[in-house]
Amino acid sequence: MTIQIRPATASEMGQLGELTSYGYGGAFGDGPDNIPATSIRAEWTLCAFDGPRMVASFATIPFTMRANGNAMAMGGVSTVVTIPEYRRQGLLRRLMTDSFEHMRERKQPVASLWASQAAIYQRYQYAQATQLRHYTIDTVDIVFHDGNWGTGTVARTSITEGLDDLRDLYRSYVADGTCYLHRAQVRWSTNLFETTAADGPPEIAIARDEDGVPVGYVIYTLRSARVNHPSRNQEIKIRDLVWLTADAYRRLWHFIAQHDLVGRVVWTSAPIDDPAPDLFTEPRLLNCQDKEGTWLRIVDVAGALAGRGYTQNGKLRISLPQDKMTPWNAGTWELDASPEGATVKPSDKNPDISLSLKSLASLFCGMRSAHDLARAGMIEGNQQAIEGAHKVFATQAKPHCPDHF
Ligand SMILES: CC(C)(COP(=O)(O)OP(=O)(O)OC[C@H]1O[C@@H](n2cnc3c(N)ncnc32)[C@H](O)[C@@H]1OP(=O)(O)O)[C@@H](O)C(=O)NCCC(=O)NCCS
């Protein structure tokens, strides 16, 4: 069998639709015009062909994400499927290896994805980068322990009226963050504004401060007959909640709590440093659960470390092992970081810390601190070096990515 690895042509995208329908069991639609086939561009793909037949699909969507306050190009890996007859023959490894080379050429220093199974990607040095916090709470239990509902107002609006405010608020909200995507119009329309048969149309409410300035928003759906309750059978599903001030956060919850007929509020994409557990009178009634989010891989160490934002000054020599998939990353790198910018260059001096590319990915995005990694035996270095790495890589907020791709 001679397998050819190449991007699909536009006329072959129907095959990608068929492959992903089968591989994902119809989760993104069935047939040649399912969501992956119609939303991914042929030039983003890298597929395996046995003659004219596509036997494995793979795509890298060009995204920009936040990296502790800086914008960074990111390869969003998607449509990863090999048909069962061709599995365990090394096709995904070939596609992934080639795609890292392409990402490096395209100056995308990091790759990210949503994993169906973590085992597939950990062997490629992906580390868990974000988590999704799930809340399920009854509106009668939305009560703050200090009784402070915040100041300002919250009012519903239409997508047309509110879109500019939503975009500006989102941009300000994610500015200092890590792993958040820069949202193109398609992300807003598919992830946030879609009307689904199950949940109905999206609703939008914007929080304003006492001067009328927008300071937060919530995008949600509202459906009846969802909760087994004799008088409050409606459900609110929060799709996105953004706040720039503590008052806005409280006002938005207050607005949700005023839906007296709602017996259940569900939010499945809160960040893991969301303040609700610290503010609610009975945090356990949030039924909080943290679930796996996106995975991140450092494709180009020099580009990733130099492009990330830092809040502290610090110098660190970082040693990384040989890596067959991205051989250009091996060796010792000297990072000179400051809030004004960072430089990264190869070094022949002794390293301060040694770690795998996977551990570096955790550190890079702030999912794990150097102290966390040291406790898990996933970083080597003396106490002073670990302390230095802890400070240099500190992020302003926990990494988060509420957007599926
Ligand atoms: C995941 C999938 C794409 C792997 O494709 P493949 O071409 O068979 O992968 P490879 O032959 O290159 O295998 C790569 C490695 O991952 C391992 N692997 C593959 N699938 C695995 C799984 N589900 N769990 C654990 N390990 C897995 C293989 O054993 C192999 O290990 P090795 O490199 O140490 O030999 C394929 O199994 C598939 O299509 N699965 C269903 C769809 C899916 O889950 N896609 C991922 C969406 S995020």
Do 244 and 195 lie in one domain? The reply is yes
Residue nearest to atom 29 of ligand 1 (CA): 88
d(CA 126, CA 112): 8
d(CA 315, CA 205): 45
In a domain, 194, yes or no: yes
Q: Are strands 203-208 and 262-270 parallel, antiparallel or unpaired?
A: unpaired
Do 142 and 286 lie in one domain? The reply is yes
d(CA 116, CA 25): 12
Closest CA to 261 of 235, 240, 286, 282: 235
Among 272, 292, 312, identify where a domain stops: 292
pLDDT of residue 190: 84
183: DSSP letter = P
Torsion of CA 63, 68, 71, 76, to 10 degrees: -10
> Domain containing 367 — which CATH number?
3.30.1050.10
Do 79 and 210 lie in one domain? The reply is no
Do 306 and 383 lie in one domain? The reply is yes
Q: Is the dihedral of CA 333, 307, 300, 91 positive or negative?
A: positive
Atom nearest to 115 CA in ligand 1 = 48
Residue with tokens 């300035």: 213
Do 278 and 313 lie in one domain? The reply is no
Q: Is the dihedral of CA 17, 18, 22, 26 positive or negative?
A: positive
In a domain, 122, yes or no: no
pLDDT of residue 191: 84
Where in 68-148 does DSSP place strands (E)? Answer: 70-82, 110-114, 127-128, 131-137
Atom nearest to 48 CA in ligand 1 = 7
pLDDT of residue 92: 98
Low-confidence ranges of the chain (pLDDT < 50): none
Among 273, 292, 311, identify where a domain stops: 292
d(CA 211, CA 334): 48
In short, whether 27's Cβ falls inside 6 Å of ligand 1 is: no
In a domain, 114, yes or no: no
Domain range enclosing 264: 132-292
Both tokens of 109, joined, read 């220093």
Instruction: Please report, for the chain, how many H helices and E strands are present, in that order.
Output: 12, 19
Residue nearest to atom 36 of ligand 1 (CA): 82
Residue nearest to atom 8 of ligand 1 (CA): 87
CA 346 to chain centre: 30
Both tokens of 312, joined, read 């502290």
Atom nearest to 82 CA in ligand 1 = 39
Among 108, 140, 165, identify where a domain stops: 108
In a mutational test of the pocket of ligand 1, which residue from 87, 116, 324 has the highest number of ligand atoms less than 8 Å from its CB?
87
d(CA 158, CA 175): 25
In short, whether 77's Cβ falls inside 6 Å of ligand 1 is: no
> Domain containing 97 — which CATH number?
3.40.630.30
d(CA 290, CA 131): 6
In a domain, 324, yes or no: yes
Question: With contact defined as beta carbons under 8 Å apart, do 92 and 56 qualify?
Answer: yes
Residue with tokens 């969501």: 35
In short, whether 404's Cβ falls inside 6 Å of ligand 1 is: no
Residue nearest to atom 20 of ligand 1 (CA): 120
Do 248 and 326 lie in one domain? The reply is no
Do 187 and 266 lie in one domain? The reply is yes
Do 142 and 212 lie in one domain? The reply is yes
pLDDT of residue 79: 97
Do 318 and 256 lie in one domain? The reply is no
In a domain, 117, yes or no: no
Do 276 and 304 lie in one domain? The reply is no
Atom nearest to 56 CA in ligand 1 = 7
CA 74 to chain centre: 11
Closest CA to 66 of 167, 173, 170, 176: 176
Residue nearest to atom 9 of ligand 1 (CA): 92
Question: With contact defined as beta carbons under 8 Å apart, do 353 and 381 qualify?
Answer: yes
pTM of the model: 0.96
Do 145 and 287 lie in one domain? The reply is yes
Residues 6+ apart with CB under 8 A from 181: 63, 64, 65, 74, 187, 401, 403, 405
163: DSSP letter = H
d(CA 341, CA 108): 18
Predicted confidence (pLDDT) per residue in 215-240, tens digit:
999 999 999 999 999 999 999 999 99
In a domain, 120, yes or no: no
Residue with tokens 């990330």: 308
Do 167 and 87 lie in one domain? The reply is no
In a domain, 388, yes or no: yes
Into how many domains does the chain fold? 3
Going from the Cα of 91 to the center of ligand 1, the distance in angstroms, rounded, reads 9
Query: With DSSP H G I counted as helix, E B as strand and the rest as coil, what are the percentages for the chain, rounded to 5?
Result: 30, 35, 35
In a mutational test of the pocket of ligand 1, which residue from 19, 120, 121 has the highest number of ligand atoms less than 8 Å from its CB?
120
In a domain, 113, yes or no: no
